[in-house]
Structure 1
Amino acid sequence: MRITTNVYPKEQRRDAWRFALKRLSLTLDDADEATLYGELIHFRSSTHIDFIRVTGTAQAWTIDFRDQPATYWLAMILDGSATMRDGGQELRLADGDIICGRGDSPVSIAFTGDNRSLIVQVPHSELSARLKTPISGPPRKIATDSGSARVFAGMLRSLADTLTDITTDQARPVELAFPEFLVTALLDNAPAKALGGAAGMRAALLERIFQTIEIRLSDPDLNYQQVAAEHGISPRYLQKLFESIDDSFGHYVKVRRLERCRLDLRSPLHVQKSISDILFEWGFNDSASFSRAFREQYGISPREYRKAPPQEQEAVELLRRGRPARKERAAKAEEAVEIEEVLEEQLDEQPADDIPQVPAYMGDTGTSRHHHLPATPETVHWGYLSKDLKPALRVRSGDFVTIETLTHHANDDPERMVEGDAGVESVYQWDHCGKTVERRGAGPMDASAFGRGPGEGFGVHICTGPIHVEGAMPGDLIEVRILDLKPRPSGNSRFAGKSFGSNAATYWGFHYNDLLTEPKNREVVTIYEVEATGGRLPTAHAVYSYRWTPQVDPSGVTHARYDYPGVPVNPESIERNYDILQNVEIPIRPHFGVIAVAPNHNGLVDSVPPASFGGNLDNWRTGPGARVFLPVQVPGALLSLGDPHASQGDSELCGTAIECSMTGLIQIVHHKGAGVMEQLKDVDYPLIETESEWVIMGFSHPNYLKELGPDAQSEVYKHSSIDAAMRDAFRKARRFLMTAKQLTEDEAISLLSVGVDFGVSQVVNGNFGVHAVIRKALFTS
């Protein structure tokens, strides 16, 4: 998740930055509003360790996890210098310095200039298995000039540099190493007072013994006599040390081995290993005793755990964190089922860890809620809009939504864009028995007329939603604030960390009947690799292209041309050309192609032609930082988003953009008709607002469902023209200037000619689009 102040007007940046920091338990204390810049990169690992990279100009903020006291935090200065203050001390911090403390120990950090830092919050539960005696005392600096702490600092810096690209799977080794390094660093740097005298020294010795055990867990012959000798103590004294924490050497080793096995069982990195391979690797001698021990520890067999969906594995993980000591387990056994049921209910409300989660737009943090809307067969509708759809989510005005959207072109290269991604696979599932998402379009379910499958392809976009907005009624406006948008990474381990998209030059493209070279009736698909993030401007570059060849879908229907997006392409039937667009990089402009409220129309509405309700706008300006205003047509608005693009030029000339699955963070704001601000009072069309522009959307037929009669959904494809779309954009822009800016008609017409840019949004969606770009800088007040 990435948030930057650059997407907000200058007057809003301080409030937006304060809000973004607050969501991550960082409180902005001071900053120069005139020069303020801030960027947050947030990554949460599968074990709920939060890594936060903060970049900014001179400012001061407080690390305050008092609302989450069962945590440790760590802060590393990556660039710049700072002063740390708490209730009783002041420390000077320079590049590479690390400080750490408990969650209930807030500190203030003031930076004198440009700076970059890494904040890590780790749940106490992730350290409790290793840090048996929590170290007390105020926040303190960890010396990083030698030993394991120096290696630890190097790992943290490398992690910070790659935080924008790392995936949950790639982070697993870090999850394993981080607690071990932190415990070692805490002990090596602990002052005598913090260790607590003789008792503290015994605890420190025990922690060093734990380190030895951790290193040798895979040795099946590991025994307490060997460990005692290695640390220069008697076996009896080692046993006493374990008794002091209500444990034994044998039980501790068994639990740590079980935990290592559990992590490997759920890791994609070990999916090819058998359960026997894993248990022997971690020092167990036979599968029967291992299975009994695993079930006793986690309440589930190893085989059941491995086959369980991620949500159930997570429930086992959370239950483990709260597991009582051995002496209490029998008394608590009856409570376990109730606890697990509660955890499952909580998990249903939790957002995924590897997607944008933290809103950064200034809002009412006391009332705004944050929802996660994944793309599943139950939460998407493919190829159509309808006022009769059951809401996939209900929100209030001001709520934030992390929303997953899938491209309908993923099967152009299923290896890169479908395989290994459980969510995409579930939506795209199609075999000879049928589809999980059977309706794919607004046409009749009978496939005999055109042979394109259920719905017959009258509408192609995979839309996530709809979202019911509480209190929204016809005459109101819905504002969709797009805060963040990033490509969905490939689920195939061969392409780990990479994202891909497809551009299909097809028969519906503007170019198709104007080709120069043979064969002229050709359709070409180009696969692009899309950078998700990076230090420089993210770009896309072509990987390969191929000409469409007849494809036989899983239902046995042959598709001679690209008539039905979603048909899986057989890689053996195409010839890939890798020698294309050499030395060409396309700056990515991520945006939603489809942003729509439900049309007030009986029956299903084809997702392709846009109109007054929004829909398939295909305007690249609907990316992060933009606000899209849509007039509500039915109660609840029923907002849907889809058709995500990595980049597109004005016109979308060949028929598509770089079609790439995306996950976005949006905020939905409801404006009652009677309370709409002056400049929006006359808006009955999709309006885009960015930091510097208003973008007025015009169409050949602005309300085609009413204009073209009962056959409107087919007639609109026959009657579209650039002239009509330009006329509509002109009329709407004139009306906007006369109502929102109180210009006379003569003033508006002059300004439209000398200061407003008209452009072609798209010429491929059945209802052509032209937009008018009105720069805010034209108005001096």
Structure 2
Amino acid sequence: MRPRPFTSESYSEGDRPEAWRDVLASVGLQPTAATTTHAGHATAVRRNFQVVTLARLSAGPQSVSPRTDVVADHPLVLLPLEDGVALKTAAGYQIVAARHLLLLPRAGDWSVSFQREMRAVVLSVASEPAYRRRATPQDGEMRVLPPGGFGSVFAQMMELAARDLDALSDVEWTALARSLADLLPTFMCQHSDTASDLGGSSASKAATLHRLCETVERCLDDPDLTPAKIAGAEGISERYLQKLFEGAGTSFTHYLRERRLQRTWADLSNPAEAHHSISEIAFRVGFNDSAHFSRTFRQRFGLSPREFRQHEAERQTVATATADQRGWPQQALAQLRSRHVALARKTAAPFSAHDVEIAAAPRHHHLAADASRVHWGYFSHSLPPQVEIGSGDTITIETLTQHASDDPERMIEGDPGAESVFHWTRDRKNVDRRGAGPLDASIYGRGAGEGFGVHICTGPVAVKDAEPGDVLEIRILDIVPRASRNPDFEGRVFGSSVAAWWGYHYKEFLAEQNARETVTIYEIVDDDDAPYARALYSYRWEPQTDPFGTLHKTYDYPGIPIPPSSVRRRHDVLDGIRIPLRPHFGVIALAPREAELVDSVPPAYFGGNLDNWRLGKGSTIYLPVSVPGALLSVGDPHAAQGDGELGGTAIECSMTGTFQVILHKKNEFTNQPFADLTYPLIETESDWVLMGFSHPNYLAEFGAKGQSEVYATSSLDLAMKDAFRKMRRFLMNIKGFTEDEAIALMSVAVDFGVTQVVDGNWGVHAILSKRVFDHAPQN
């Protein structure tokens, strides 16, 4: 009766297809063919009560069909949560929009194809419910029911129940399962205006029509798309094309317009598309006249595109609780409705001696930090590389802390690189985009990017010949602090730490009415015996007006300059306390493959904001490559940090790192510790450190809503389970232990620690000492 969670992170690459096949079988489905068995990232939560099973599935593109060995009176009920779904029957194909219910007989020649990502809810009732009412469509009829009436009630009940399967008590789940089973016959009695029949077309005609629909889908961006163009591409006459569409109860013109409208409907309701204007969304599916598009959209959906986008944002706000975390606040994300935003892509200029300084050694590179070489608050696979290096090359990368403006006198003034990045006057801001939000600041008006992502990252660095499926080994050879270049403080090193509103502590003040944000400025002392940090002074955040005139009541936007006169400094803080240094980089990331703009705060499989102090000099991190060139970025330098990063930040301090980068091709993984790598793996001289997260790949798990959903659902329990699963997998597949041996070893020899609880996607790391294997037999 308890939920049965599934994650592909528990399994090696070779075992994933069979494990996923078992998940599908539990709800009466199977892969359409062995070649389509999914082997990528997947998650599922299933719950049973007697004959009722409800499941929430999330995986990559694939096609599923009914299991042939299941006999049941009731159809499967499948609710797609995203577009890009097609139902195939002997008669032909039908495109199924998101949240249109599919009623599927347990047997028959049908399949459902998820062409983008598989995100769906499945209800399976294996035998007649208590009231013995027949629910199966007569003669194996399949139905596709659009939202509306009782169907909408049933669909929302399924979706909400599936979303909260983990949280429901046994009593609540039992009542809900019985209700779903009892309501199914009533639901089945409802008449559907849409069926899977294609007007009696032959299988050959249906296949031809399917090809035509696929061609239309590929050509939606062509504003001059005509029946003649499609017919010519498929080698048939225009007249025959029109007859095929008429046989399906539509026309080419109507089908084309409907597909374009469905695509714009989906994109306008998608928070991940908020940085695109309505005109951009319309133009990229072939609407070349904004006024015509607006009229057509209103006629079809009853609202103008702008009204619809605003309505969807407000609906999502009501439906989702606000999460008090740094980065993408859910309420803000749900209200994304930007007017015109284009990704601020830097133009890749030819490399010169000024751009990339080549040291005397032939394969060493130097990447300086200035406004033209950093991206602030986001990752993107579309960023042009600042330099390309080869496997085995070394590179020195300058990084700046985004907190330097907490004390501009000590950490910015006199430093040309820092001044270039932080330059912000009433007339100009050198780095405008500071986060993955709208560039026009349409939500709160805080500034471009809205602060949804905060880290200054230098790069990206392309690695020659790196391809998806490879692994990048990044060795940290050296870390040097960046000294102040202000003549008043020249040669001294400073950093800042903020106990902020996104910190774990923020709702735990002894007096609730005294909730506050406090900034502490530190000096880094280079003591020969034991370098340390000492606090110089602190101040409480006071409302700050940025150079553009926006008032910031909280520490909500990166890089706001803090004039000394605007705060009251307290100098007698942490008197006599010396904090041991742990220099490391909070952010080491490869570009993720999923989204165009990815918030820099939540870490995941691609690395990112790991905030693990073990990433210091002498350590190595292995990361899976997911885009050509890998696109390595480094930032968020820290002088010291404790596990947990409880208050919200470490001692943030600008630093320069020297790295050696080694590319491991996919066919070279045999007997390597990074074989089958889908997560950040850290190696130190003495330990293996595996990084677990609440959601190991939140972008894939939640799809378009991933960058908000991850903040709302993170927990240490989920992160601990992920760390356990990864360590079990490491011990079984890399070290050759049985599952029982792996669990026994973990309990007595593996240290699990809280990495951070402030980055949206919470982290737990598992530390395995290499000494454990000193006397083990060698393979």
TM norm structure 2: 0.53
Output aligned runs, 1:461-610, within 5 Å. 461-517=455-511, 520-531=514-525, 533-610=526-603
What residue identity is the alignment partner of 2:552? H
> In structure 2, the residue corresponding to 1:403 is in which secondary structure?
strand
Structure 1 residue 676 displacement after superposition: 2.1
From 748, 751, 773, give the equivalent of 1:779. Answer: 773
The structure 2 residue matched to 1:695, chosen from 689, 704, 709, is 689
Are residues 1:646 and 2:635 paired?
A: no
Does the 8 A contact of 1:551 with 1:570 survive in 2? no
8 A contact 1:385–1:606 mirrored in 2: yes
Contact 2:357-2:367 at 8 Å conserved across structures: no
Q: Distance in 2 between matches of 1:488 and 1:628?
A: 23
In 1, Cα distance between the equivalents of 2:355 and 2:398?
16
Q: 1:415 aligns with which of 409, 420, 428?
A: 409
Alignment counterpart, residue 767 of structure 1, candidates 745, 749, 761: 761
Contact 2:724 2:766 in 1 (8 A): yes
Q: How far, CA to CA, are the matches of 2:587 and 2:484 in structure 1?
A: 22
Q: How far apart, in 2, do the equivalents of 1:514 and 1:751 lie?
A: 37
DSSP 3-state at the match of 1:512 = coil
Q: What is the alpha-carbon distance in structure 1 between the residues aligned to residue 593 and residue 355 of structure 2?
A: 32
Matched, 1:388 2:367: no
Counterpart contact for 2:356–2:368, Cα < 8 Å: no
Give the RMSD, CA atoms, in angstroms: 1.5
Q: Which residue identity is paired with 1:639?
A: L
* Aligned pairs for 1:241-256 within 5 A: none
1:622 to 602, 615, 628: 615
Offset at residue 448 of structure 1 (A): 3.4
Secondary structure in 2 matching 1:448: coil
Tell me the residue number matched to 1:144: none
CA pair 515-349 structure 1, distance change in 2 beyond 3 A: closer
CA distance in 2, matches of 1:658, 1:390: 30
Distance in 1 of aligned mates of 2:596 and 2:761: 19
Letter of the 2:441 counterpart: A
- 1:670 maps to 663
| 1:510-554 residue CA offsets vs partner (Å, 9 max, x unmatched) | 0000011475220000000013x4421111000000000000000
Residue 709 of structure 1 aligns with which residue? 703
**Does the 8 A contact of 1:407 with 1:642 survive in 2?**
yes
More helix by share: 1
Which of 407, 427, 434 is matched with 1:433 structurally? 427
Query: Gaps spanning 5+ residues in structure 1: where?
Result: 1-343, 352-356, 359-364
Instruction: Give me the whole-angstrom Cα distance separating, in 2, the residues matched to 1:345 and 1:619.
Output: 35
Whole-angstrom CA distance in 1 between matches of 2:561 and 2:418: 13
The 1:409/1:777 distance shift into structure 2, 3 A limit, reads: same
Decide whether aligned partners of structure 1 residues 633 and 345 sit closer, same or farther in structure 2, where only a CA change above 3 A counts.
Answer: closer
Report the 3-state secondary structure (helix = DSSP H, G, I; strand = E; otherwise coil) of the residue aligned with 2:565.
helix
Query: What's the CA shift string for 1:372-404, capped at 9, x where partnerless?
Result: 000111110000000000001100000111100
Distance in 2, Cα, partners of 1:389 & 1:677: 32
Residues 1:544 and 1:677: Cα distance change in structure 2 (over 3 Å) = farther
Question: Which residue of 2 is the match for residue 658 of structure 1?
Answer: 651
Deviations 1:625-676 (A, max 9, x none): 0000000000000000000000000000000000000001111110001102
Tell me the residue number matched to 1:448.
442
Query: What is the percent sequence identity of the aligned residues?
Result: 60
Aligned equivalents of 1:661 and 1:347: distance in 2? Answer: 21
CA-to-aligned-CA distance 1:40-67 (integer Å, 9 cap, x gap): xxxxxxxxxxxxxxxxxxxxxxxxxxxx
C-alpha spacing 1:780/1:622, structure 2 compared with 1 (3 Å): same
- Among 377, 396, 402, the alignment partner of 1:402 is 396
Alignment partner of 1:398: what SS?
coil
- In structure 2, C-alpha distance between the alignment counterparts of 1:349 and 1:575, rounded to whole Å: 42
SS in 2 for 1:701: coil
- Assess, with a 3 A threshold, how the Cα gap between structure 1 residues 349 and 540 changes in structure 2: closer, same or farther: same
Matches of 2:353 and 2:721 in 1, distance apart?
Answer: 53
Give, in whole Å, the separation in 2 of the partners of 1:673 and 1:626.
22
Distance 1:686 1:640 in 2: 14
**What is the SS of the residue equivalent to 1:599?**
coil
Task: Quote how far apart the aligned CAs of 1:346 are.
Answer: 5.7
Asked whether the 8 Å contact 2:434–2:558 carries over to 1, the reply is no
- CA pair 510-488 structure 1, distance change in 2 beyond 3 A: same
- 1:449 Cα deviation from its structure 2 partner: 1.1
TM-score (norm 1): 0.53
Deviations 1:732-766 (A, max 9, x none): 00101111211111111011110100000000000
Q: Give, in whole Å, the separation in 1 of the partners of 2:381 and 2:353.
A: 31
Instruction: Please give the alpha-carbon distance, in whole angstroms, between the structure 2 residues aligned to 1:444 and 1:345.
Output: 33
**CA shift for structure 1 position 467:** 0.5
Structure 1 Cα separation of the partners of residues 535 and 355 of structure 2: 39
Aligned to 1:612: 605
- SS of corresponding position for 2:767: strand
Residue identity in the other structure for 1:719: T
* Residues paired across the two proteins, number: 424
Q: Which amino acid aligns with 1:535?
A: D
8 Å Cα contact 2:456-2:635 kept in structure 1: yes
Shift of 1:434: 2.5
In the alignment, structure 1 residue 635 sits paired with structure 2 residue 622: no
User: Are residues 630 and 348 of structure 1, via their aligned partners in 2, closer, same or farther at CA, if it must alter by over 3 Å?
Assistant: closer
CA contact (8 A) 2:356 2:387 kept: no
Q: Is the 1:620–1:649 contact (alpha carbons within 8 Å) kept by the matching residues of 2?
A: yes
Aligned partners of 1:496 and 1:378: how far apart in 2?
Answer: 25
Could you tell me how far apart the structure 1 residues matched to 2:366 and 2:430 are? 22
Output the amino acid matched with 2:561.
P
Structure 1 stretches of 4+ moved >4 Å: 344-349
SS in 2 for 1:416: helix
For 2:480, give the aligned amino acid: K
Q: Closer, same or farther in 2 for the Cα pair 1:457/1:346, shift >3 Å? A: closer
Deviation at 1:711, TM superposition (A): 1.1
- Write the letter of the residue equivalent to 1:416: R
Flag structure 2 segments of 5+ consecutive residues without an equivalent.
1-350
Whether the aligned pair in 2 keeps the contact of 1:386 and 1:601 (CA below 8 Å) is no
Q: For the residues of structure 2 that align with 1:696 and 1:713, how far apart are their CA atoms?
A: 23
Asked if the contact 1:738/1:744 (under 8 Å) is kept, the reply is yes
1:243 alignment counterpart: none
Partner of 2:242: none
Counterpart contact for 1:597–1:637, Cα < 8 Å: yes
Contact 1:755–1:774 under 8 Å retained in 2: yes
Larger radius of gyration: 1
User: What does the per-residue CA deviation read over 1:319-350, in whole Å, with 9 as the maximum and x for residues that have no partner?
Assistant: xxxxxxxxxxxxxxxxxxxxxxxxx9666654
